[in-house]
Structures are given as structure tokens and as C-alpha cells.
Homo-oligomer: A and B are copies of this chain.
Amino acid sequence: MDLQDAKNRLMTLQKKNAAYEHALDLLFYDGATTAPKKTAENREQTIGILSEEIYEIATGAETVSLLEYLDAHRDELDQKEKRMVELLIKNIREMQKIPMDEYIAYQQLLVESDAVWHEAKEKSDFAMFEPLLEKIVASMKKIAAYCAPEKEPYDYWLNEFEEGMDRERCDAFFETLRAHIVPLIRKVQEKEQLSCQMLLADVPDYKQEKLAYRLMEIIGLDLGHVGLGTTEHPFTASMGSHLDERITTHYRRDNLASSMYSVIHEGGHALYDTGSDRSLAFTVLDCGVSMGVHESQSRFYENILGRNRAFCRYLFPILEELFPEQMEGYDAEDLYKAVNRAEPSLIRTESDELTYCLHVMIRYELEKRVMAGELAVHDLPGEWNRLYKEYLGVDVPDDKRGVLQDSHWSGGMIGYFPTYALGNAYGAQFLRKMKETVDVDADLEKGDFSRINEWNRSRIWQYGSLYKPAVLFEMVTGEEFDPTVYTTYLEEKYCDLYGIEMDA
């Protein structure tokens, strides 16, 4: 094997991986959006068989010897190739540690459990989902034990979703958030509540869909490469590369903001993915480095930009044009207040920017205990409800609006939730830096995302997974990670909104 030949084969291998990923991503996307309800078994079998093929390609002798050769010649590789080899080897080493049967069975379990979760949520019946979730927890612990026997399983998974993360860091991070957010919520609750009446308008799905496409264009998505679907739980998926990206939303007839902000949130993910440099397509470096950085982008567009006062001034006339009856008698400031009304509530995805992190903390707390074996899956609903009362002061009326609300656990994403809060905090630091060179408010008032997107593209998006999250963060901000930048952002925003005097 000569080096050039090996480099070519490295690209061919990644293209093949991308093709299988495309098929699998599309199967998952289809299952969550348009597939008929009783087709999960069919999809499960296909995913099982294709996963087996992927496993065999990834762990086959040919692949292993290629990567070993390239690793031995790493000094002769360029920066991108080096990182590709590093990530591929990490992936193979992990796969090799998991017996193939278990790997396949786990992929199939996720398909089955996704279908069961949908039905269980619809019926608000946790007992139906419980045996599947037990299996997922058991599998995730087992996989962690295979891949990183030296770690506690939950630490392994936290690090999978955000390189460098573990319980110790998460605990400290959430402690900082708690120390600032809880007293702020208390002060907000002493003030007169903002009205969100205007968002409760009943708008038919097809009209909300028009707004969704309008928003996608406004934030700068290329609709030639980014599609929109409808699903129970909004998500974003890449079809094998950043050249084909899908976002999804969920239309509610009693809450106009729900789909609006889902679209902007998922749109942020899609901007990040589709902003990858063209040369990264079909490689392991394509489409974003970590879930924390990913959520920093989605939550940045959703909240920092989407719930910004200047942006509401731009947005309101568009809502008036699309929903003239429903908007009658309101103005842009009403919209700004309505979409920022802070109120302890039941549903994470529809919660406001201020209370959001408490929803995440509850999930973190529960995941930590379940993965450590300190809490049985069976007892999750009870503990969920207890913590919602304790942290947010709300009574959970049923599991549909409680422990079954999120799709993450059914998808094997235990350890993912903290990345939402991390993303919020990253985003606040990005904003502070961005404001040094971009007049964010002035641009948002014009609905002009070009400079904002270019800032993100040139500093974050284009690199895909080339840099580790911590390295990228440092490159972008020139600073250490400091969650108080985020809590200060919240304090300033909410004190202004609710007329609270800032503490000295």
C-alpha cells in the first residue's frame, strides 16, 4: 500500500459509510415523519441488516489495516486526514469492543422503542414504555462497560455527547446555573405576569406551515438543501452529508409559538450542519463536532436571536400579514413579551428561556440516578413528578406531559440533555464575542442574518468536527468557558422584561 493509495481508500471508506448513514438516517426520519404506523417491524429488520453491514465494513480486516497504516504515517497526513483517522479509529475501537450481535440488537431495540414510545405517549401509558426503557438502560450500561470499563456508565455517555464532559463538571455547571436562575425566577414571580394571549390563537396547520417556510428563509437556510417535515417531537437529521438536511416541526392549534420556535431551533442545527465546508461532505468530519456546540447554535437562533426584541419588531409585521385576524390589536412589543413570558411549566420544549435549564436539570438528576442503579426505571414517573413539583412548583397531570414527553430516552440518548444547557451557556459567550464586530440588534431589526451567519460560518460551522469542542470554543471566544456569562445575560434580559432592579 502506498500513501496516496491509502488516502484515496480513506475517502472511499468514508463515502461508503456516508451512504449507509444516509440510508439509516432516512429510515429513521421516515419512521418519525411519514411512515404508516404499523411499519416499525419492517423498518427494524432493514435497520438491523444494514447495521450489520456497517459493522462489518467498520470492523473488517481491510478497514482496520488501512487505518493502522494511516495512523503509522500520521505525520504525513494533513490536518483533516489526521482528524479523520483519529475519529475513525476511536469509532472502530469502540465497535470492536461491542459484540456484533449486541450492536445489531441495540439498533433494532431503538427502532422498536421509538414506535412504542410514540404510542405510549399518545396513550399516556408509561407502563407500556417501561420494559423498553429498561432494556435501553441495560444496553447503554453494557455498551459503556465494553467501551470504557474504567468509567461509570453515565460519565461514558456524557462524554459521548460532549467530549470532555463528566458528572463532576456537569454538577458544577448546573450548580452555577441553579445559584443564579432560581433566585431570578423567584423575583420574576413576584412581578406582574406578561401576557401570552396572542400566541394562543387557533391557526390551522397549513397556515403555520407557511410561516415555517418563511422563517427558514429568514434565518438563511437554503431550501434547496434543507427540507421540512412534521413529527411528534421536532428534530434535525442529516441525510448522510450536510448536502441534504431535514428539520421537523409540530403544529399546535393552541400555541403559535410552539412550531415557530421549533423551526428556528431546528433551523439553527441545520445552519450549523449545512455550513460545513464542502470538502467535508461524505467524511466523518461533516456536520458539527458535538451536541453541546450543536445546541449552542440551535438555542442561539431560537432564543438569543429568535426571542430578541429587535427580531420581534421584524417578525410581528410578518405574523400580521399571515394571520391578520389573530394579530389584531397587538404589536411587536406584545410579541416580545409573549414569547418571553417566564413561567414554570410542564413541557421542556415549550418552556421559556429562563426556566428551561431547570427542565434539563431534572432530567440530568434522573438519568444520573438511573444509570448509577440508584433509581429503578419503574420509579421514574414518580420521581419525575416529585422533582417537577420541587424545582418548578408544578403538578404533572399525566405521563404524556411528564416522563413520556421527550423522545430522547427511546432513542438511546441518555446523557444528551445536559448539552442543551451547555449550548445555552456557550451561546451567550459567542454572542458577547459576536457583538464586538456585528451590530446584532440592528441586523435583527431588519431581518438580516447575513453578517450573523457569516460570523458563525467562518468561526464554527465550516470546521465540522475538525476541532474538539473545547479547542473550537477557545478559538471562537479566546476565553475559558464561563457559565456566568449566560446567567448574566438572563439576569439582564429578565430584569428588563419584568421591571426588576438588578442587584449591585
12 residue pairs from A and B, CB less than 8 Å apart? A15-B45, A20-B50, A30-B30, A34-B34, A35-B227, A35-B239, A36-B224, A36-B244, A36-B245, A36-B246, A39-B225, A42-B281
Q: Which of B43, B45, B225, B246 contacts A282 (CB 8 A)?
A: B45
A35 / chain B contacts, CB cutoff of 8 Å: 227, 239, 244
CB distance from A19 to the nearest CB of B (A): 4
In the complex, what residue of chain B is closest to A53 when comparing beta carbons?
B53
User: Do residues A19 and B36 form an inter-chain contact, with CB atoms below 8 A?
Assistant: no
Q: What residues on B are CB-neighbors of A16 within 8 Å?
A: 49
Q: Is A226 an interface residue (CB 8 A)?
A: yes
Residue from the list B46, B243, B282 in contact with A39, Cβ < 8 A:
B243
**Shortest distance between the CB of A280 and any CB in chain B (Å):** 13
Residue of A53, A204, A244, A245 most packed against chain B (CB within 10 A): A244
Q: Which residues on B sit within 8 Å (CB–CB) of A39?
A: 224-225, 227, 239, 243-244
Q: How far is the CA of A35 from the CA of B42 in the complex (A)?
A: 22
A461 and B222 CA atoms in complex are apart in Å by 44
The residues of B that contact A30 with a CB separation of less than 8 Å are 26, 30
**Chain B residues near A282 (CB, 8 Å)?**
45
What CA separation (Å) do A96 and B42 show in the bound complex? 29
Tell whether, in the assembled complex, residue A50 and residue B38 are in contact, meaning their CB atoms are under 8 Å apart. no
**0/1 string, A193-228, CB within 8 A of B gives 1:** 000000000001110000000000000001111110
Verify if A469 is at the interface (C-beta below 8 Å from B). Answer: no
Chain B residue contacts of A206, Cβ below 8 A: 204-206
List which A17-72 residues lie within 8 A (CB) of chain B.
18-20, 22-23, 26-27, 30, 33-39, 41-43, 45-46, 48-50, 53
Task: Specify which of B26, B222, B223 is in contact with A27 (CB 8 Å cutoff).
Answer: B26
CB distance from A395 to the nearest CB of B (A): 35
Q: A15-B45, A43-B239, A46-B240 are in contact. List 19 more A-B contacts (CB 8 A).
A: A16-B49, A22-B42, A23-B27, A26-B26, A34-B246, A35-B227, A35-B239, A36-B224, A36-B225, A36-B244, A36-B245, A37-B223, A38-B222, A39-B224, A39-B225, A39-B239, A42-B239, A42-B243, A204-B206
Q: Is A236 an interface residue (CB 8 A)?
A: no
Min CB–CB distance A444 → chain B (angstroms): 26
Distance of A245 Cα from B245 Cα, bound (Å) = 24
A48, B19: Cα distance in complex, Å: 9
Report A174 CB to chain B, min CB distance, Å: 38
Please determine whether B34 and A19 come into contact, CB atoms closer than 8 angstroms.
Answer: no
Q: Tell me whether A244 and B43 are in contact (CB under 8 A).
A: yes
Q: Which 5 A-B pairs have the closest CB atoms?
A: A38-B224, A19-B49, A39-B244, A23-B23, A22-B46
